[in-house]
Structures are given as C-alpha cells and as structure tokens.
C-alpha cells in the first residue's frame, strides 16, 4: 500500500481507530473522517471533519483528497438500538452515495464492513461461499443490501471491492453495555452478573486484530466477502471465567434468566482471511481479555458500575 491514498470513514469508532496505525505501517497516505469527536493522535493520519450522510460535504472532501482506496466503517452503532433502528435505512443511501462519488473521482478499491448477522447461523460454521444469507434484523438486512449493491457497482465499473463480515469483537474502548465490558465491570464491582446463555458459543476477536484484518484486506487484491473473525468458538461461560482469571477473582454468575437460546453457536470459517488475505490474529483470547481488563481498570467509572 506504499504511497496509496486511503480514506477511512468511521475512523474514531471502536473498530475504525484500530485500522489507522496498521494502514500507516503499511505505507498508506491515510486520510480519516470525523464528524465532530476529537480524533485520536495517530502519527501520519490527516483528519477531515465531515458528516458521511452529508452528500455535498463528502463530495467536496473526496474531490479534494482523491483517495485511491476507501475503507468504509461508518454506520449507526447505538449498542442498545442498532439492530432494529430505522436509522439503519438512511445509511444504505449514504453509503451508496459515498461509493458512487468515490468512483466518480477515480477511486479504485473499496472495503466496507458487513456483519455476521447476514448469515443463517443454523448451517454450522459461517462460510462466505456456502452459508445462506438470511438477515433476521433490519441492521443485517441493510448491510446485505449494501453488499449486493457494492458487488454490482464493482462488476459494472471494473473497480475492486471486498466486504468484511465482522463477527464478535471485544477490547479497549468498547461500549459499556456490551457483554465483555459488563462482565469486567461486574467483576470490578464484586457483584453477580446474570449471564443469560452461558453455553452459547460465539467467535470472539480482539478489536485491534479486527482493525488490522480490515487494513490487510484493503491492502490485498481479495474481492468479495471475507469473514473478520478468529475462527474459534468459545462459550460465554468460558469468556466469563477468563475475565475472572484476568481480574484475579472469579466473576460470579447470577441466576440464569429463563428463555430459549435460538442461536446456540455462531462461528466463522476464516479460510479466506487466513489463506487469501494472509492474516492471522495477534491476540489469543486470554491475552486479549487481559489487555481489555487492564484498560477497564483505568477507565471504569465506579459510579456507573
């Protein structure tokens, strides 16, 4: 990627900020968009203020920067609402406008973030080439719609495009209401945590590895969907036990809430990521949770715990 100009949207987000350093290390000329949040200090990154949903502002920015590559991560991400919120709908149009403008100004390669929720997980390990797509939420349906439009755009224009289907992430800076932060904060406060489905199996990846994987995907010539995941399934009870080990005291699990687990296992086939992109995660689950617990020891607000 040496010398290639890259534009990153969602660059101050949980995943986005983890892509910047890997892109810089790869030699890219990195330009990043922030809507208003104070951008992190990353040497070599040029910041631009714009709202991705403001078509005129984005058009002017792309016309000025003229990136060769686009890493599109911006989306509606309220942890409590994003799965069903109608805010997903305008992001479909905003994303397609962004891609169209990027292409009209000479853009050559797009990588955008999808979701594991596009898959039908009842068919075993989720494979890009074999697992049916059956999005069960508005969020997943909107992501699938963008992927299909992106694939059609690339085929018609001759541009290069890849779709990173992101699975389950954790790490420093994650929203407090997500599972791993809740486990850590409960452990720090010494209070029980009600883990609804302890036997549920999920494919967890440290967010820094996810950011590096997306950067590697952008720098490759791989096209189409690629799973961004560890490829290792782990029970939520095991995640809780590992968090306790990192804290030095077990996380006490409260009573299991009643209910039926409709999706007991979601794990990725990571063959494309490993063998075609050539990426392997840096963190084991234990190392990643240790890093996460260390971050929360510093940043936890006892008033909110």
Q: What is the pLDDT of residues 10-27, one digit of tens each?
A: 999 999 999 999 999 999
Question: Which DSSP string do the residues of 183-204 spell out, in sequence order?
Answer: HHHHHHHT--B--S-TT-EEEE
Is residue 304 predicted with pLDDT exceeding 50? no
pLDDT band at 303 (very low <50, low <70, confident <90, very high): very low
Q: Which CATH number fits domain 5-168+206-228: 3.40.640.10, 3.40.50.720, 3.30.70.330, 3.20.20.150?
A: 3.40.50.720
| Mean per-residue pLDDT of the chain | 94
Q: How far apart are CA 270 and CA 41, in angstroms?
A: 32
In the chain, residues under CATH classification 3.40.50.720 are 5-168+206-228
Between strands 160-166 and 224-228, the pairing is parallel
Contact 12, 48 (CB under 8 A): no
Is residue 100 predicted with pLDDT exceeding 90? yes
Q: How far apart are CA 60 and CA 155, in angstroms?
A: 26
Residue partners of 284: CB distance under 8 A and separation at least 6? none
Q: What is the pLDDT of residues 16-64, one digit of tens each?
A: 999 999 999 999 999 999 988 678 788 999 999 999 999 999 999 999 9
Q: Which CATH number fits domain 169-203+232-268+283-299: 3.30.420.40, 3.90.25.10, 3.20.20.70, 3.30.470.20?
A: 3.90.25.10
What the block records as the tokens of 168 is: 């389950």
Range 92-121 average pLDDT: 97
Radius of gyration of the chain measured on its C-alpha atoms: 19
Is residue 259 predicted with pLDDT exceeding 90? no
pLDDT of the residue at 62: 98
In the chain, residues under CATH classification 3.90.25.10 are 169-203+232-268+283-299
Q: How far apart are CA 66 and CA 90, in angstroms?
A: 24
Between strands 69-72 and 5-9, the pairing is parallel
For helices 285-299 and 236-247, give the axis angle rounded to 10 degrees: 60
In which element (H, E) is residue 241 found?
helix 236-247
pLDDT of the residue at 56: 96
* Percent of the chain clearing pLDDT 70 (strictly above): 97
Contact 30, 20 (CB under 8 A): yes
Is residue 245 predicted with pLDDT exceeding 60? yes
Between strands 29-34 and 168-170, the pairing is unpaired
Q: What is the pLDDT of residues 273-294, one digit of tens each?
A: 999 999 999 999 999 999 999 9
Is residue 302 predicted with pLDDT exceeding 60? no
Contact 249, 142 (CB under 8 A): no
Residue partners of 10: CB distance under 8 A and separation at least 6? 16, 33, 52, 72, 73, 74, 75, 113
Residue that the structure tokens 């199996």 belong to: 201
Q: What is the pLDDT of residues 146-189, one digit of tens each?
A: 999 999 999 999 999 999 999 999 999 999 999 999 999 999 99
Is residue 305 predicted with pLDDT exceeding 50? no
Residue partners of 269: CB distance under 8 A and separation at least 6? 125, 126, 127, 128, 131, 227, 231
């Amino acid at each position: 990627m040496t010398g290639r100009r890259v534009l990153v949207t969602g660059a101050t987000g949980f995943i986005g900020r983890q892509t910047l350093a890997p892109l810089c290390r790869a030699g890219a000329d990195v330009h990043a968009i922030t809507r208003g949040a104070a951008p992190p200090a990353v040497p070599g990154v040029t910041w631009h203020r714009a709202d991705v949903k403001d078509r005129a502002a984005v058009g002017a920015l792309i016309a000025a920067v003229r990136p060769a590559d686009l890493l599109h991560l911006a989306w509606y991400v309220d942890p409590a609402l994003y799965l069903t919120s109608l805010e997903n709908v305008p992001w479909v149009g905003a994303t397609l406008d962004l891609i169209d403008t990027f292409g009209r100004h000479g853009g050559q390669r797009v990588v955008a973030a999808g979701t594991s929720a596009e898959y039908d997980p009842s068919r075993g390990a989720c494979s890009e080439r074999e697992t049916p797509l059956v999005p069960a939420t508005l969020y997943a349906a909107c992501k699938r719609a963008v992927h299909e439009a992106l694939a059609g755009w690339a085929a018609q224009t001759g541009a290069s495009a890849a779709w990173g289907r992101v699975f389950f992430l954790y790490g420093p800076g994650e929203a407090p209401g997500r599972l791993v932060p809740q486990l850590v904060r409960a452990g720090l406060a010494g209070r029980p945590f009600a883990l609804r489905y302890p036997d549920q199996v999920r494919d967890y990846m440290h967010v820094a590895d996810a950011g590096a994987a997306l950067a590697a995907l952008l720098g490759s010539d791989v096209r189409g969907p690629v799973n961004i995941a560890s490829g290792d399934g782990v029970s939520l009870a095991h995640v809780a036990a590992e968090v306790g080990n990192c804290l030095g005291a077990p996380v006490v699990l409260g009573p299991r809430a009643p209910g039926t687990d409709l999706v007991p296992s979601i794990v990725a086939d990571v063959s494309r990521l490993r063998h075609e992109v050539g990426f392997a995660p840096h963190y084991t689950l234990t190392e990643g949770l240790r890093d996460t617990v260390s971050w929360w020891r510093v940043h936890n607000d006892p008033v909110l715990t």
